[in-house]
Amino acid sequence: MDNSVLGCSRGTPSRGKLPGDSTDISTLGRREKAFDIPDSCPFTIQEIPSNDNTSSNAWLIREHDQYGEFPHIYAKICSSKTREPGTQELRVILLSDTGCGTEVSNTKFSSDTAASCGVEIEDGFIIVRREHEVWNIRTFLEYTINPGGKIPYLVIATHCHYDHILGIRKLLPTAGDAPSPQEAKKTAPTTILASAKGQQFVTPYETLQRHSLCSEIGIQAPRYEVTQWAHDFYPVVYKYPKSSDLGPPYDHILTTPYAIIHTLGHTPDSLSWYDADLRLLCVGDLFYLKQSEHTESAPWGPEAPKPTMFNLDSDFAQWWGALGKVLGFVREKNKDKEFGDEIPKKAGIEGMGNEEFNAPASVKSRVKLTASHTTLGIDAETAVLEMQEFAAAVLRDDVPNVQVADGPRGEQRCLWDFSLGTDDASEEEIVSRLANAEWRFSILAPIKIVEDGRRRINKAEWGAARRQ
Ligand SMILES: [Zn+2]
């Protein structure tokens, strides 16, 4: 949702690093240069660092979209670990969300550049990375990590808001405008995973149209079918679709290091995923930093601070519960560091039957947290504790707040942010204060959603300031 409620731009703030943050942008394996991304491209890509300095095969893609969302799209190439001689390696790209469906023409494109750009040798085969006439999420992936579009996509929808699903249109021939039927035959199939808990929230199509907020911005939601309804703590496995001519026999199943965790509250279909290899937890829109190195150093200029958003479909009490659930999960995982192999038995979380999911990673670093906006690789436990503390202060009415423009359904909304101060500041002063990076979180929500939270969440959990 558009968060530029005060219609503001901002200067570049100074920012302080807090204890527990170990990610430094200079250590991230930036791949823009490696991929030679032209200026006309509305996406950036960088490899997510692994814990042991090997290639993670995982990337963060950031999108410069027309709605000011700057969504994060995560892509991870998973492949079958063992490969019999003469058999085809099974691979899939787990794509966490698909962004806003941005498409712009590639001003650098000509048939000459298309023919001459990136040639790579992989497994003895020559792979040509070619530019397309337009940049969208599909052509960008084909230009970077999926030359020729040969690897199928499994899209994990962290939830159905438009800034997470509009790119599906570009990946699924039946969902909208691209690719062409001829091209579709040559590219691998796309399948979609969503939360089983949110099935009623995203089907049938009219419901998706409303809950995706596509109606509010006057566009049509993409049409797609969810092929996997993921239950809580579901280990993500990929089954090559039977219908595809390109893949191996359909009964080939690929186990991935991902597990799904239901984290309701922002929406009823919100989910998080945990990558056991990278020890990385993605919380979708559950919460994120107001701003980060990535938002401040974006090639399209600094992005406006982004509050954690709620709307009338949100449930603050469920959201509060999801924070606690995530904290418990992260703390169990962080114990791996101290107790190693004993942890899976101790965890005792129902439904975690997947060996890879339960197995402690070979390098037992603390769990990092990443989100669908602004945030990559911060210390998960610290971040959740800090957000809990901030939300508790909001519930206690201890956080300065300002009423902002009404929501699309006429609901009154407030922005809670410590940097607002308590004096009567001018709008200009407020705008400049909001860019203050001393405070890492802010919340923008309908007032009634927060009031409902005050009624339903046990006051013992938020009534007094505390540090856990
Ligand atoms: Zn959202």
Q: Report the separation in Å between the CA atom of 315 and the middle of ligand 1, taken as the mean of its atom positions.
A: 13
Instruction: Identify the CA nearest to 161 among candidates 217, 111, 121, 108.
Output: 217
What is the Å distance from ligand 1's center to 390 Cα?
Answer: 20
Shared-domain flag, residues 340 and 415: no
| Residue 17, domain member (yes or no) | no
What's the structural domain count of the chain? 2
CATH number of 212's domain: 3.60.15.10
Pairwise CA distance, residues 257 & 113, whole Å: 37
- Three-state secondary structure call for residue 258: strand
CA of 40 to the centre of ligand 1 (A): 27
Cα–ligand 1 centroid distance for 81 (angstroms): 34
Would you say residue 57 lies in a domain? yes
Distance, in Å, from the CA atom of 16 to the CA atom of 209, rounded to the nearest integer, reads 41
Q: Classify 94 as helix, strand or coil.
A: strand
CA of 92 to the centre of ligand 1 (A): 25
Are 62 and 70 in contact by the 8 Å Cβ rule? The answer is yes
Cα of 370 vs centre of ligand 1, distance in Å, is: 15
Phi and psi (nearest 5°) for 21? -80, 120
Cα–ligand 1 centroid distance for 159 (angstroms) = 7
- Cα(447) to centroid of ligand 1, in Å? 18
Q: Does one domain contain both 409 and 381? A: no
- Cα(270) to centroid(ligand 1), Å: 8
Closest CA to 31 of 14, 49, 13: 49
Same domain assignment for residues 158 and 33: yes
CA of 311 to the centre of ligand 1 (A): 9
pLDDT confidence of residue 147:
87
Contacts within 8 Å (CB) and 24+ apart, 21-25? 21/378, 21/379, 21/382, 22/366, 22/368, 22/377, 22/379, 23/49, 23/368, 23/376, 23/377, 23/378, 25/293, 25/294, 25/297
| Same domain, residue pair 297 and 407 | no
Domain boundary among 387, 413, 438: 387
Q: Is residue 5 part of a domain?
A: no
Going from the Cα of 195 to the center of ligand 1, the distance in angstroms, rounded, reads 14
Check whether residue 318 and residue 369 sit in a common domain. Answer: yes
Whole-number Å distance, alpha carbon 266 to ligand 1 midpoint, is 7
My answer on whether 65 and 206 are in the same domain is: yes
Helices (H), 4-82: 32-35
165 and 246 part of one domain: yes
Surface-to-core class of residue 338, CB atoms within 10 Å of its CB (0-12 exposed, 13-18 middle, 19+ buried): exposed
Structural domain span for residue 420: 398-461
Cβ–Cβ contacts within 10 Å for residue 237, how many?
Answer: 14
Nearest-angstrom CA–CA distance, 9 and 305: 9
Q: Is 468 among the domain residues?
A: no
Residue pair 417/457 in contact (Cβ under 8 Å)? The answer is no
| Pairing status of strand 153-156 against strand 91-96 | parallel
What per-residue confidence (pLDDT) applies to 82?
56
Whether 435 and 292 map to the same domain: the answer is no
11: in domain: no
- Residue 374 sits in the same domain as residue 404: no
CA of 86 to the centre of ligand 1 (A): 44
Task: Determine the distance separating the centroid of ligand 1 and the alpha carbon of 325, expressed in angstroms.
Answer: 19
- 74 to each of 149, 154, 155, 270, 434, how far by Cα in Å? 17, 11, 10, 16, 28
- Kindly give the distance from the C-alpha atom of residue 314 to the centroid of ligand 1, in angstroms, as a whole number: 10
Going from the Cα of 1 to the center of ligand 1, the distance in angstroms, rounded, reads: 7
The answer as to whether 8 is a domain residue is no
Same domain, 174 and 77: yes
Which parts of the chain have pLDDT scores under 50? Answer: 1-33, 115-116, 250, 338-363, 468
* pLDDT tens for each residue of 256-279: 999 999 999 999 999 999 999 999
**Do 117 and 253 belong together in one domain?**
yes
User: What is the Å distance from ligand 1's center to 240 Cα?
Assistant: 29
Find the 78 Cα to ligand 1 centroid distance in Å.
26
Same domain, 353 and 416: no
For residue 3, being part of any structural domain is answered with no
Q: What's the pLDDT tens digit per position in 146-185?
A: 988 889 999 999 999 999 999 999 998 655 555 555 655 5
Does residue 6 fall inside a structural domain? no
Quote the pLDDT of residue 430. Answer: 74
